[in-house]
Structure 1
Amino acid sequence: MTRHVLGAVVLSGGSARRMGGVRKTALEVGGQMLLTRTAEAALAACDGAVVVVGDATGAPGGVIHVVEESPGGGPVAGLAAGMSHLDAEWTLLLAGDLVDGAAAVSALVGAQRGTDGAGLVDAAGKKQWLCALVRTEALRATLSTAGTAFGARLSEIVGKLEVLWAPDRGEVTADIDTWDDLTQAHARFVRVIRSSPRIDTRTDGGSAVTVPATERTLPPEALDGWAQVLRERFGLTEDEVPIALILDLARDVAHDVARPAAPLSAFIAGLIAGRQGGGPAQTSVILDEVTALARAWATATATME
């Protein structure tokens, strides 16, 4: 039997204490769960097994899902559980909460390797043990000498390997540890969208005009990303943040009253809806009422001119 060349272990555990215990790897950035993006990239790159250890929310079909024998035993315990399912010469070690796991996989597969593999060092000079590509047998050897895996640190395992560590020049080691990290991740996604040139259907002298996204209004994808940040941070559902209705209100108020009145009106509508229960139906009624007031204002001011 031909041995596989590349496999992967994606660690998807952690208590996320700084984020109130949320499932970090199930958080969405750019409309996709963090774990989904990373695991899909690993599946595309690997001819061997891709093992997700811990929370498998969002894991695509085709991965192997395992849980360490003593849940909460830490990353080394998770790594030991995942390694038992690998048969490839090389193993990708990946964190499930990487912001752009696809970019991380691409960088590691193409990286120059030392005797035991390659890894990335973040901007702060810290080696990222879960953004590395290592020789499977060398990793197994260090694991076998670790004694107990429960509570052990990855630096005690991966740090013993002869890995060629290189600086991360593309922010591919970025992960999510705090709410600020999540906000920055969404902002990074927005920058990518807005920096991409787009072809507008408008014409200038009969010729199509290319309009950079930075000269346009915020694209829908970016607005969805920002709304997701707010929902996750404050525990809101999609029904509690009716984006389309809010935008309709802002448009109508800006047209019938004045632009500065739009955000003020949206704030007051949300405040009143919250006082009256804050349910989706009640929110819709309040938004409709504010819109009606704006139209009445426009009619009244027009008759006074």
Structure 2
Amino acid sequence: MVSVDAILLAGGRASRLGGATKPLVRVGGQTLLRTAVDAVRAAGARRVVVVAPVLDDALEVTWTREEPPFGGPVAAIIAALGHVDATEVFVVACDLPTAGPAVALLGDPVPDAADGVCLDDGRRQWLIGRYRAAALRAAASGVFEGGRDASMRALLGGLRVEPVPADPALTRDIDTWEDLREVASEGPSAT
């Protein structure tokens, strides 16, 4: 039986947002963090691990940090793997206003011949994926310095990751205030 947990990446610097706490930015009346938590729960995640300082005490999640903080997404994933015990794991960045429909595309178990799947809108979106936890752990064991400042390719490049075609509108994240204005101007259909 396939079980699934989730790793949510929410601890970045948000330098293009002037250091604002990006996961707490509201889109459609809800924080990006809450949107991501709701998305992975709706897709069947049992345990949700958020890699960030505690941002919302009301969320029923496990909080952890990469060491040192701001070590990048690979370091964050490696830090979270110790809290995951499911056979598969969603990995989702918390800057995605469309996390619900995006994660829904990853609802099926990873195919037998693959180590994972990720959305592909013309390029691989590694941070909107579903991976075998054992494959992530094996790949992480070969990454130096706990993954600090490593590229996602360093972690996932040796794995068999199948693309899941996705409309670019589903993978558009919020990195700047202009991105937020554009998403907000699109109205409820953007979330």
The TM-score normalised by the length of structure 2 is 0.89
Asked if the contact 1:39/1:60 (under 8 Å) is kept, the reply is: no
Paired with 2:23 and 2:4, the residues of 1 have a C-alpha distance of 23
| Cα distance change, pair 47–180 in 1 and its aligned pair in 2 (3 A) | closer
1:170-226 Cα offsets, whole Å, 9 max, x none, are 622221111121112112334569xxxxxxxxxxxxxxxxxxxxxxxxxxxxxxxxx
Corresponding residue for residue 144 of structure 1: 141
**Structure 2, unaligned runs of 5 or more:** none
Corresponding residue for residue 31 of structure 1: 29
| Structure 1 outlier segments of 4+, above 3 Å | 110-114, 190-193
| Cα distance change, pair 111–136 in 1 and its aligned pair in 2 (3 A) | closer
2:121 is the counterpart of 1:89: no
Report percent identity of matched pairs.
36
Letter of the 1:120 counterpart: L
Asked if the contact 1:12/1:35 (under 8 Å) is kept, the reply is: yes
| Cα distance change, pair 4–165 in 1 and its aligned pair in 2 (3 A) | closer
142-151 or 51-60, which moves further after superposition? 51-60
Asked if the contact 2:23/2:95 (under 8 Å) is kept, the reply is: yes
Paired with 1:111 and 1:188, the residues of 2 have a C-alpha distance of 32
Greater relative CO, 1 or 2 (CA 8 Å, sep 6+): 2
Which of 162, 165, 175 in structure 1 is aligned with 2:163?
165
Aligned residues: 189
18-27 or 44-53, which moves further after superposition? 44-53
Q: Kindly report which structure 2 residues correspond to 1:38-117, keeping only aligned pairs within 5 A, or say none.
A: 38-58=36-56, 60-110=58-108, 113=111, 114-117=113-116
Cα RMSD (Å): 2.2
Q: CA deviation at 1:111?
A: 7.9
1:218-242 Cα offsets, whole Å, 9 max, x none, are xxxxxxxxxxxxxxxxxxxxxxxxx
Letter of the 2:90 counterpart: L
Which of 120, 125, 132 in structure 2 is aligned with 1:128?
125
Letter of the 1:164 counterpart: E
| Cα distance change, pair 116–25 in 1 and its aligned pair in 2 (3 A) | same
Paired with 2:188 and 2:155, the residues of 1 have a C-alpha distance of 37
Q: Kindly report which structure 2 residues correspond to 1:144-293, keeping only aligned pairs within 5 A, or say none.
A: 144-148=141-145, 149-169=147-167, 171-191=169-189
Letter of the 1:117 counterpart: G
Letter of the 1:52 counterpart: V
**Structure 1, unaligned runs of 5 or more:** 194-305
Where 1:72 maps in the other structure, the secondary structure is coil
Corresponding residue for residue 12 of structure 2: 14
| Cα distance change, pair 191–93 in 1 and its aligned pair in 2 (3 A) | closer
